């Protein structure tokens, strides 16, 4: 948003609660990667399927996109009118055709490696600007199982440079994306949009926490924000437009905490929709050990191949499941830490773990199903009684997967274990269900009765207060959300610039 608005001639100030981070400071190690995760005020998690806030969120310049895995598929047309088609979930206020030009625009700007012809499930759009990412032995081994099961694989679309692109170098394929990318091959804010914003005069204040969004006496116009600086000084910053891009939990938290006499329940919350419909993808992680060498430490952390044969939402109705999922195949994996080989077997300690690692170090392989989570109104962000260091109530997030979403995860696990077994792995197991990606909380819609913003992210009752990011999603779909979040931001920025006088009036 900062890049687009600055390039549109607007004076832009970015406010970041965390520290500054430069690509040159990023170190390819599991320990360094932890520094990019959330270390701000804790989020209180409740429900049967907690959202895994720390794992999914970033802290500091670049946010969660600084360490994202860059898996960038498009949503499908059926994701946008799901309720009309299936009487499940919600409809978006836009169609795929409304977003397609912005998918294409962002794709050219950031760069995506892939092969649209092999990706037979992909909706219409421009071909990818770069050739596919490299496939290593792990990818070939897992692809064998899909072929034996009569399924198709294609190169995984990744926002990672397979060749030099826009003066950014090609990837080294050393599998450290979650630690940031010091060379700029990963399509993250440091490599793409921050330089563009700075080139047009945008400025950035780090270690500066927004504590409240301010409105005028009518309550219909945002006038700026209240912040606390690194030194502890509390200041008011005035602005004709305020964009909240603090991800899916902090955005509703801030809007709820900004309640005033005109908005006693929080900004954008006149119909009690703010904070509702928080969604995650249940991660269906399936592992195997092959006799052959898999080079599982090589490649991109996001993966090498994709399969979307199970994307049609009624595929697994006999199992009591509903929704879409895709397989992300052959992620680069290191020995330890969050997605490591050893942590795939947390039940093993001591000598049994050592024996397992001896088997796994040569032939380990993994793939992950991104399982759609249905929107549930009771899955929501509310304010806790406890306060952070600046006196702002902490966020409390309740999340329990819809029963049909939980059944979808189980169907994916069953399929994944069969595929890896068919590939020839004598040892196959799965991880427990975990939450990947966070969406919802400030969902977009056509009316204030059932949504917080319009299709451009503008609050229905405060049009110069704009939300950006996956918190806008009415449904989660069965693909990673980052590409769609970027496309929505591009569409929103284009609208704001073309209708500027009306927006800020």
Q: Where are the domains of the chain?
A: 2-24+45-504
> 63's torsion region: left (phi>0), alpha (psi -120 to 50) or beta?
left
Identify the pLDDT of residue 337.
Answer: 78
Q: What is the pLDDT of residues 17-63, one digit of tens each?
A: 999 999 999 999 988 999 999 999 999 999 999 999 999 999 999 99
Q: Give the DSSP per-residue string, 246-258.
A: SHHHHHHHHHHHT
Which of 270, 226, 217, 240 is CA-nearest to residue 463?
Answer: 240
| CA separation for the pair 444, 457 (Å, rounded) | 7
Residue 426 burial class via C-beta count within 10 angstroms: exposed 0-12, middle 13-18, buried 19 and up:
exposed
Q: Which residues pair with 40 in a beta bridge?
A: none
The low-confidence residues of the chain, meaning pLDDT below 70, are none
What pLDDT score does 336 carry? 86
Query: Are the C-beta atoms of 282 and 50 separated by less than 8 Å?
Result: no
Residue 339 confidence (pLDDT): 80
Q: What does the pLDDT read at residue 250?
A: 98
Total Cβ atoms within 10 A of residue 272: 11
Provide the CB-side half-sphere exposure for 89 (13 A, CA).
32
Q: What is the Cα–Cα distance from 254 to 439, expressed in whole angstroms?
A: 16
102, 107, 165, 339, 489 from 126: Cα distances, Å: 11, 9, 17, 33, 19
- The CATH superfamily label for domain 2-24+45-504 reads FAD/NAD(P)-binding domain (3.50.50.60)
SS3 assignment, position 394 = strand
Burial of 237 (0-12, 13-18, 19+ CB in 10 A): middle
pLDDT at 338: 74
Q: Give the whole-angstrom CA distance, residue 447 versus residue 271.
A: 10
Q: Which two tokens stand for residue 473?
A: 């999603």
Output the pLDDT for position 31: 86
Residue closest to 465 by CA, chosen among 150, 243, 273: 243
- Note the pLDDT of residue 370: 98
Question: How far, in Å, CA of 288 to CA of 146, rounded?
Answer: 14
Q: Which of 440, 298, 309 is nearest to 369 (CA)?
A: 309
**Cα 176 to the center of its chain, rounded Å:** 18
Residue pLDDT, tens place only, 104-120: 999 999 999 999 999 99
Cα separation, 329 vs 435, whole angstroms: 18
Q: Is 306 left (phi over 0), alpha (psi -120 to 50) or beta?
A: beta
What are 460-470's pLDDT values in tens digits?
Answer: 999 999 999 99
């Amino acid at each position: 948003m900062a890049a687009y608005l600055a390039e549109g001639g607007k004076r832009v100030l970015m406010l970041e609660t965390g520290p500054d981070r430069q690509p040159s400071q990023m170190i390819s190690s599991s320990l360094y990667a932890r520094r990019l995760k959330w270390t701000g005020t804790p989020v209180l998690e409740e429900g049967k399927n907690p959202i895994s806030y720390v794992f999914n969120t970033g802290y500091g310049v670049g946010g969660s996109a600084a360490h994202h895995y860059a898996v960038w598929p498009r949503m499908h047309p059926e994701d946008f009118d799901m309720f009309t088609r299936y009487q499940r979930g919600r409809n978006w206020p836009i169609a795929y055709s409304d977003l397609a030009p912005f998918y294409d625009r962002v794709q050219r700007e950031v760069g995506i490696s892939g092969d649209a012809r092999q990706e037979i499930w992909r909706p219409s759009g421009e071909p990818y600007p770069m050739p596919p990412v490299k496939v290593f032995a792990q990818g070939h081994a897992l692809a064998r199982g899909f072929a034996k099961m009569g399924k198709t694989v294609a190169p995984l679309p990744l926002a990672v440079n397979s060749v030099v692109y826009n003066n950014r170098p090609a990837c080294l394929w050393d599998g450290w994306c979650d630690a940031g990318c010091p060379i700029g091959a990963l399509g993250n804010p440091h490599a793409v949009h921050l330089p563009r914003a700075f080139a047009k005069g945008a400025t950035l204040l780090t270690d500066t926490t927004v504590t409240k969004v301010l409105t005028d006496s009518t309550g219909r116009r945002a006038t700026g924000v209240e912040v606390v600086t690194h030194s502890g000084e509390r200041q008011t910053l005035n602005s004709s437009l305020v964009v909240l891009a603090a991800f899916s939990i902090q955005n509703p938290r801030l809007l709820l905490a900004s309640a005033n006499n005109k908005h006693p329940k929080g900004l954008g919350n006149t119909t009690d929709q703010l904070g509702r419909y928080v969604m995650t993808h249940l991660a269906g992680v399936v592992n195997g050990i092959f006799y052959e060498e898999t080079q599982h430490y090589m490649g991109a952390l996001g993966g090498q191949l994709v399969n979307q044969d199970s994307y049609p939402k009624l595929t697994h109705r006999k199992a009591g499941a509903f929704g879409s999922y895709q397989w992300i195949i052959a992620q680069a994996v290191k020995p330890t830490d969050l997605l490591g080989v050893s942590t795939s077997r947390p039940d093993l300690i001591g000598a049994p773990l050592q024996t397992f690692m001896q088997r796994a170090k040569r032939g380990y392989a993994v793939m992950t199903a991104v399982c759609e989570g249905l929107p549930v109104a009771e899955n929501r962000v509310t304010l806790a009684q406890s306060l952070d260091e600046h006196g702002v109530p902490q966020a409390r997030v309740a999340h329990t997967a819809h029963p049909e979403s939980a059944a979808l995860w189980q169907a994916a696990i069953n399929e994944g274990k069969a595929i890896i077994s068919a590939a020839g792995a004598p040892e196959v197991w799965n991880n427990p269900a975990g939450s990947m990606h966070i969406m919802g909380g400030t969902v977009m819609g056509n009316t204030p009765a059932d949504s917080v913003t319009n299709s451009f992210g503008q609050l229905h009752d405060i049009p110069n207060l704009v939300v950006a990011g996956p918190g806008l999603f009415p449904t989660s779909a069965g693909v990673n959300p980052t590409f769609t979040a970027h496309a929505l931001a591009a569409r929103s920025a284009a609208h704001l610039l073309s209708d500027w006088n009306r927006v800020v009036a």
